[in-house]
Chain A
Amino acid sequence: MSPSEAEDKTTQPVTVLPCPISLDYAYSAGQSASRFLRAIAEGKLLGQRCPVDGRVYFPSRGACPMHGVTFGDDAVELSDKGTIVTFSIVRVPSQNIALPLPYITVNVLLDGADTILIHVLDAKLEDVHMGMRVQAVWKPKEEWTTSTANILYFRPIDEPDAKYESYKEHI
């Protein structure tokens, strides 16, 4: 670089200012989510019932988002079986989902729950349909942690389809 070029460089206007930002947090999930996560570490799926209309929220965030009432300490244990309410076949890769393409994402209404769980389904693309009965496939017990990742995926089970009326509210 010649002296004149160096001079040019120092007199160039600043056009880019790298400014890396990161903040650290010691996040607490909260009492409701902690109870849910501790239970799933033991293979249990816990929801909570709204005292106003009886709907079961899974997972619970401590209060009913419709009525604003607290759930208290009572929990409802749910089955790991459920019904596919709706689904989507994914053909584009996603950064945090390490599944071979294409795969099926499903909204599952667990038996006894009134809110849906979003997960993936291990089935042939042509077989998936609304109302399909499914069950969770869990990791080996010794690998369970306080994480929803304890459920690997759902797979179809040999049960007749659920009636549309039983899940139409959740589409």
Chain B
Amino acid sequence: MREVAVVGFTQSPSVRREPDRNEIEILIPVIQALREQTGLSSKDFDFICSGSSDYLAGQSFAFVSGLDAVGAWPPVCESHVEMDGAWALYEAWVKIQMGYADTALVYGFGKPSMGDLPLTMALQLDPYTMMPLWPDAISIAALQARHCLESGVLRAEDMAAAAVRDRANAKGNPNAQVKGDFSVQQILAEPFLVNPLRKSDCAPISDGASAIVLAAGDRAKQLRDRPAWIRGLEHICEPMDFGIRDLGRSRGTEIAARKAGVSNDKIDVAELSAPFTHQEILVERALGLTQKTKVNPSGGALAGNPLMAVGLSRIGECATRIWSGEADRAVAHATSGPCLQQNLVCVLEGN
């Protein structure tokens, strides 16, 4: 395997609604800042890969204009996934492993505020038996939360505590959208949004973008004193049908974590992309994290949830903490699909 590291990371602030800028105009300064951070220009990237969703943009092939932010002349080698940018990073990593590239630019962007996000998300369900019922994303997550509560997997207090932790951590994150000091009692006193979920159990709807530079071997060492080396990277997809999944745990995350070698050594920092508090707890358990790990120092997805960039940003948030020496070993998580259907786990190390 080739040694590949995260050597650059930039992101836009997560905001509830970008009133003026379109998706590409949100992305342009993020890519510009990444060029300045790494000293690289577009012609230095052997491969470019992006993650976004035409369903958020409301138009087909919307991702193509994302290249306006990159500059595609002379012709570039690029690809796109209709997924979170974390999966675009996976594709870029494979490309580097295969020897087709030494450096890669990866970005993700989304402007879900343009549509009705919970309903838009219904379109990712099984098109024959579930989607025609138009179950919105919050209601689907609420069914999973109800299952977790009824089966004793977790308690409402645990869910509220996850929100309290993330929002307190997010106070130090200028890009976070939801932050501040809250108490478990405060959150449990909120009315239900969709029983048993309260508003504080749900990640916010966020517009935003983020971008990462990957580099292999010596190239990475030239670009960073202490690159964040990718030592494990796996993603696992569970079946589409909820009826044949155990919704009280995240099997996909468990398998991905095992394959990525999460438990091989201590984990200093974990960044999780679960968009609901009960899901965050399921992911935390699936990764086998203990008290020694600082979870979501940035606030995680519950503090800022720019769809299609939020998972990629988790990898970036881990990388920055490796670069600074704050962490020696970190794990980032990204998810896609309803009820943690697909999960990606990335282990980063400083040594």
Contacts and interface: CB of A to CB of B under 8 A. Distances in A.
Contact of A23 (B32, B55, B73, B131): B55
Nearest to B73: A66
A68 interface: yes
A63 B22 contact: no
Interface string B51-82: 00001001000000101111111000000000
A26 to B, nearest CB: 6
A104 B120 CA distance: 40
Contacts of A25: 58, 114-115
A67 B35 CA distance: 12
B28 A19 contact: no
A69 B71 contact: yes
Interface residues of B, number: 33
Given A66-B73, A68-B68, A19 B22 contact: no
Which of B69, B70, B113 has the largest number of chain A CB atoms within 10 A? B69
A165 to B, nearest CB: 21
A30 B114 contact: no
B31 interface: yes
B21 to A, nearest CB: 6
Interface in A10-64: 17, 19, 21, 23-34, 61-64
A21 B55 CA distance: 12
A67 B115 contact: no
A63 B123 contact: no
A137 to B, nearest CB: 30
Given A63-B69, A66-B73, A24 B131 contact: no
B116 interface: yes
Contact of B68 (A24, A34, A62): A62
Nearest to A33: B22
Contacts of A79: none
B20 A28 contact: yes
A32 B116 contact: no
A31 B21 CA distance: 5
B129 to A, nearest CB: 9
A70 interface: yes
A30 B65 CA distance: 13
Interface in B89-131: 113-116, 119-120, 123, 127-128, 131
Contacts of A64: 68, 71
Contact of A65 (B58, B72, B114): B72
A23 B119 contact: yes
Contacts of B18: 28
Interface of A: 17, 19, 21, 23-34, 61-70
| Closest 4 pairs (CB-CB, A-B) | A68-B71, A30-B22, A66-B73, A25-B58
